[in-house]
Amino acid sequence: MISIGIINRGPLLNWGKNFGYWYLIKYFYNELRSAGYEINFYESMSSKFYKSDFIIIDSRSITEKYTHKIRKKLKLSVNYNFLETILKIQKKNPNIVWLDLTDSSGTTQFEVLPYVRKYVKKQFYKDKSFYKKNFFRDRYYADFYQKKFSLEKNINFKTHLLTDKYLSKLVLGWNIGVGNYFDVLNRDKYEKYLCILKSLKSNDSKDLYKYCLGFHKPEKKLNDVYYSFNLRNNDEKKSIHFQRNKVTEMMIKYFKSKNLRLGHKEYLKRLKQSKISIGAFGWGEVCYREFEAIKMGAAVIFPSVDYIETWPNIYRDNYSYVSYKLDFSNLIDKINLVSSNKDLRENLVENSQRICKNVYSNEGLEYLINFFKKITN
């Protein structure tokens, strides 16, 4: 039996374990144990945590402001470099698996590579030579928009580039699509709190499935298209947020469709009533909005992401979604195509929902087992 300890930020650990990023591990806990992996979650770096054969460190657990307790326990200064933390942890257990939870395929923390066994990320560039280049604001798409539209003053961005020496340490993990969102459409606040209390006591996430958002079939739609972005018009990082702003501008111009910011329940209702959900990059390429749209039975139109790899992979062009070019030149044509073709929309929804459902099938279990084989090899 190989023991694996996972450190995660305290306040959100139970939610993440029972519904969010870690849900898949708890869902298949017994099956993983039968496969030879005993996995335990820890809110602090206790002696039990260090005694694990391998330890997985969520990057946000030691790089963000709410981790002062960890810094205090490790006797680190307030103004610290997180590599100090890695070096101290390494002395207690050298079998460190670093989980990079940054948003984009291009935002990396490769400075940890000399000190960890494996480096896991939610999504990678398919072409690893991209990691040997400096992109504007560390993002392929931001670099594209900066070069094409000169949105910002040219800043010299220098990140830690990947060398061939550490290429074998990279392991693809999974994205936020494995999470199970609470069903706000059919459940009230009382049931939500009841669900949370039950999640704290239950060792079997399958018991909690009834509280989670289900998959809705495409039904009679009241709206052709819907989109909802958190716009940052005054943000200095214009190259990152340009796509959402540009899509909003085009939707208003061609479809008289304004960017509606709704409460979560109303937002899901609107998705359920819409034929199409239009997506755009934010801080990164993969966004939970696309997975919500899929669950609500809307066909997804999203920028081309043929340059990244991720899992579950809902980004299979003309199969589970329809892509548009980064320069927006075919966006309107793609919207008109999908809007007018009912068979295409239904196929997109059916295929994308199948991909998401398979996460909780033998396919998902097999992916997890192969993942743990890679990080413990």
- Tell me: do 159 and 276 sit in the same domain: no
Does 85 map to a domain? yes
- Tell me: do 26 and 157 sit in the same domain: yes
Does 343 map to a domain? yes
Mean pLDDT taken over the chain: 88
pLDDT in tens, 278-309: 999 999 999 989 999 999 999 999 999 999 99
- Tell me: do 174 and 223 sit in the same domain: no
Does 225 map to a domain? yes
Does 184 map to a domain? no
Q: CA 90 to CA 149: how far, in whole Å?
A: 45
pLDDT in tens, 124-173: 999 999 999 999 999 999 999 999 999 988 776 667 899 999 999 999 99
Specify the pLDDT at position 66.
42
Q: The whole model's pTM is what?
A: 0.90
Show the domain range for 215: 189-358
- Tell me: do 125 and 221 sit in the same domain: no
**Cβ neighbours around 343 below 10 Å, total:** 7
Does 203 map to a domain? yes
Domain count across the chain: 2
- Taking alpha carbons only, the member of 247, 258, 302 closest to residue 279 is 302
Q: Which CATH number goes with the domain that contains 211?
A: 3.40.50.2000
- Tell me: do 286 and 202 sit in the same domain: yes
- Tell me: do 280 and 347 sit in the same domain: yes
Phi/psi for 365 (5° steps) reads: -65, -45
- Tell me: do 160 and 255 sit in the same domain: no
- Tell me: do 221 and 310 sit in the same domain: yes
- Tell me: do 328 and 370 sit in the same domain: no
- Tell me: do 37 and 121 sit in the same domain: yes
- Tell me: do 232 and 281 sit in the same domain: yes
- Tell me: do 116 and 215 sit in the same domain: no
